[in-house]
Amino acid sequence: MLNRAIFWAVIGSIAVTALVMVAFASAFLQIRHEHGVAILFMVALAAFAVSLVDFAREVRIALSELDHFA
């Protein structure tokens, strides 16, 4: 599960990088970019949310196993 959390964090980071690149490129070329940037922002937030949920599940499992052996 920790690997999945890291994977989704990386996907979110890539989406944020693409968001910044699209925003700057479209501003430089003076084209409208609101819809593309909004979609990339939602993708980034969704990926980070999934990453946090997976990480929280992994922490809960690790803590419950710690209780069994402590």
* Confidence (pLDDT) at 63: 87
* Confidence (pLDDT) at 51: 95
What b-and-e string marks burial along 31-63, b requiring 16 or more CB atoms within 10 Å of the CB? Answer: eebeeebeebeebbeebbebbeebbeeeeeeee
Q: Hey, what amino acid is at 37? A: V
* Confidence (pLDDT) at 62: 87
What distance in Å separates the CA atoms of residue 47 and residue 16, rounded to the nearest whole number? 10
Walking along the chain (70 residues) 10 residues at a time, the average pLDDT comes out as: 91 94 92 90 95 93 77
* Confidence (pLDDT) at 20: 94
Q: How many CB atoms lie within 10 A of CB 11?
A: 17
Domain boundaries, the chain: 2-69
